[in-house]
Amino acid sequence: MSPHADHAHGGHAPGHVHGGHSQGPARETERGAIRAALALIVGYMIGEVVAGVLAGSLALLSDAAHMLTDAVALGIALVASRLAERPARGAMTYGLGRAEILSAQANGVTLLVLGALIVVDAIRRLVAPPSVDGLPVLVVALTGIVVNLLAAGILARGSSAGRSLNLEGSYRHIVTDLYGFIATAIAAGVILATRFDRADAIASLLIAALLLHACYGLLKESGRVFMEAAPAGIDPDEIGRALAGHAGVVEVHDLHVWEVTSGFPALSAHVVVHAGDDCHERRRALQALLRERFGIEHTTLQVDHEAGEQPPLQIELPDSSRMPAG
């Protein structure tokens, strides 16, 4: 395989396979799960803000702020899922599928900003810890664990074969909040048992660490899509070797594999076959290989015959241009 060659022989039309990326039913299932989780989160967030203010707990207010970003993230995910279903038209030749990737990246950025703000406030409270009423913090945190378990379960059941990056962003928000409530409940228990008020700020730092960890994963994965890297789990070198090793194939180059949006891998390549082969049959066989072995259904293959011996160039002049013998 020569991945960087940039030449072509002949003009056989490239083969296209389009299909396999219509995700309407799967997206509708995801949207139903997101709507149910959103209702749970918004209802509980309001109660948590009230309890956090009354108890003077930064951990509770941190969780409430995170739940606000959860609600925003879920709302963005719903809008992005709707946009992603719009058909390709005009300049948007792939449609608006990457709206879901933008949603995931926005979720990652909000987690980053929120984590940084919590770290700053937690450090301030470690230096001068305020008095924290541990009992309401414990009650709210334990209730929050139940609510987030329900929301995470709804989102997990709402995914089909695999979560889209859009739904994954929402799911990570919820799971991170679940861990945050567990840390808050532990901090409240410590405060009740020992009156060690700094436990609230320490729990906030743990929550911030979880937020930053989740944001790193989302930004990395969405960044891979925007940089048009090969989808996770797909090795372009392995694909190149499989194509080049197929019967009748002489050379494969200009191979590109990327991900349009979650669950929509695409591939293009220039393939050279033997001079006497049926290039259309070779193309169909290679497309079947890509579909069955690598799960890639959207492919564009330019299949040409290898260059053979060319006869000498002969130019025949018209009669009017012939000069009479002198």
pLDDT digits (tens, 9 = 90+) for 249-266: 999 999 999 988 877 899
Q: How far apart are CA 73 and CA 106, in angstroms?
A: 8
Q: How far apart are CA 179 and CA 155, in angstroms?
A: 16
259-278 burial, b at 16+ Cβ within 10 Å, e below that, comes to bbbbbbbbbbbbbbbeeebe
The pLDDT score that the predictor gives to residue 140 is: 81
The pLDDT score that the predictor gives to residue 163 is: 58
The pLDDT score that the predictor gives to residue 244 is: 93
Is 211:119 a contact under the CB 8 Å cutoff?
no
User: Between 301 and 163, where is the model more confident?
Assistant: 301
The pLDDT score that the predictor gives to residue 308 is: 61
Dihedral, CA atoms, 84, 85, 89, 90, nearest 10 degrees? -30
Residue 286 pLDDT class (50, 70, 90 cuts): very high
DSSP state at residue 263:
T
Q: How far apart are CA 252 and CA 269, in angstroms?
A: 7
156-196 pLDDT, tens digit per residue, is: 776 554 556 767 777 877 887 788 888 888 988 999 999 89
Name 303's bridge partners.
271
**115 has a pLDDT exceeding 60:** yes
117-137 pLDDT, tens digit per residue, is: 889 888 988 888 888 788 888
Residue 110 pLDDT class (50, 70, 90 cuts): confident
Place of tokens 């809008």: 79
Give which of 133, 143, 260 is closest to 268, Cα–Cα: 260
- Range from 20-24, 204-208, 284-288 carrying the lowest mean pLDDT: 20-24
- Residue range 15-19+231-305 forms a domain whose CATH class is alpha beta
Pairing of strands 298-305, 264-273: parallel
Place of tokens 């990056």: 165
Give the chain's mean pLDDT. Answer: 79
Q: Measured in Å, how far apart are the chain's first and last C-alpha atoms?
A: 60
Helices (DSSP H) in the chain: which residue ranges? 24-55, 58-84, 99-127, 134-158, 165-194, 198-226, 236-244, 279-294
The pLDDT score that the predictor gives to residue 316 is: 54
Q: What 3-state class would DSSP assign to 297?
A: coil
Give which of 172, 156, 169 is closest to 261, Cα–Cα: 169
49-70 pLDDT, tens digit per residue, is: 887 788 777 767 776 776 777 7
The pLDDT score that the predictor gives to residue 239 is: 95
- Residue range 24-226 forms a domain whose CATH class is mainly alpha
pTM: 0.65
Q: How far apart are CA 23 and CA 261, in angstroms?
A: 11
The pLDDT score that the predictor gives to residue 10 is: 40
249's tokens: 């194939």
**220 has a pLDDT exceeding 70:** yes
CATH 3.30.70.1350 in the chain, residues?
15-19+231-305
The pLDDT score that the predictor gives to residue 158 is: 63
Handedness of CA 146, 147, 152, 154 (dihedral sign): positive
User: Between 19 and 88, where is the model more confident?
Assistant: 88
Give which of 10, 12, 13, 1 is closest to 307, Cα–Cα: 10
Give which of 52, 61, 197 is closest to 132, Cα–Cα: 197
What's the number of CA atoms in the CB half-sphere (13 Å) around residue 19? 4
**322 has a pLDDT exceeding 80:** no
Q: How far apart are CA 300 and CA 95, in angstroms?
A: 18
The pLDDT score that the predictor gives to residue 291 is: 94
**321 has a pLDDT exceeding 60:** no
pLDDT-above-70 percentage for the chain: 82
The pLDDT score that the predictor gives to residue 273 is: 93
CATH 1.20.1510.10 in the chain, residues?
24-226
